[in-house]
Amino acid sequence: MSIRGIVLGIATAALLAGPACAQTKIGLIDLTKVFEGYYKTKAAKGLLRDQEDELRKNEKVLLDQYQKSTDDYKKAFDDSNNQAISADEREKKKKAAESNLLELKRLEEQLTQFKRSADTTLNERMLKMRENIMEEIRAVVNAKAKSGGFSMVLDTSGESFNRAPTVLYNNGENDITTSVLLQLNASEPPSFKGDKKEEKGSLK
């Protein structure tokens, strides 16, 4: 045999023996399904919606004030150019228009700052919510991975940099999605379950 053939044979034998020696056990989980199905996620999303609704109500108050100031400015500006009224009256309307314009700019700046602050607040609360919930999910996953003897657990809902699934194929073995979700939702308060039943009933 040639030296090249001997080396190739040794390499092939090593590759065939590798899996038998390693015995790597990999667990699978659909992290998106777990996150969305966790009752605390649903409760947090409801709270965030309520907070967003409150912020939008406050924003509408500012928008109404801004619209009123816009209308006042337009009226005062039109009156300041109305030749049917006296020069003194037009001068008064002109000063009123200038005052309204300053108020309009102030409200515009206030509205812009409010929108920016509201969006930042909501984003920060959402990220904090995700961080806290993911920490709880990871704790359950880690415990199950250790008790199940898994070397690692892969997220089947993840995507690679080219937007392709990270896990291209799996046969469903060692999938801990259901067991993790059941454990997380085992502490769901009865009152929360009752709220969900009422919501389902209202949709009928």
Q: How is residue 78 written in tokens?
A: 């039109």
Q: What is the pTM of this model?
A: 0.66
- Cβ contact 137:184 at 8 Å: yes
Query: What confidence category does residue 170 fall into, taking pLDDT thresholds of 50, 70 and 90?
Result: confident
Given a cut of 50, whether residue 6 has pLDDT beyond it is no
Residue 38, judged by CB atoms within 10 A of its CB (0-12, 13-18, 19+), counts as: buried
pLDDT averaged over every residue in the chain: 82
pLDDT above 70 covers a percentage of the chain that reads: 80
Chain segment 99-144, per-residue pLDDT in tens: 888 988 999 899 999 999 999 999 999 999 999 999 999 999 999 9
Non-local (6+) Cβ contacts of 39 within 8 A are 184, 185, 188, 192
Given a cut of 70, whether residue 29 has pLDDT beyond it is yes
Given a cut of 90, whether residue 180 has pLDDT beyond it is yes
Q: How is residue 97 written in tokens?
A: 């228009």
Lowest model confidence (mean pLDDT) among 13-17, 27-31, 60-64, 171-175: 13-17
Given a cut of 90, whether residue 37 has pLDDT beyond it is yes
- Cβ contact 74:104 at 8 Å: no
What pLDDT is stored for residue 85 in this prediction? 81
The torsion angles phi and psi of 24, rounded to 5 degrees, stand at -75, 125
Amino acid (1-letter code) at residue 122: L
What are the respective helix, strand and coil percentages of the chain, to the nearest 5? 75, 5, 20
Q: Is beta strand 152-155 parallel, antiparallel or unpaired with respect to 26-29?
A: parallel
Query: What confidence category does residue 22 fall into, taking pLDDT thresholds of 50, 70 and 90?
Result: low
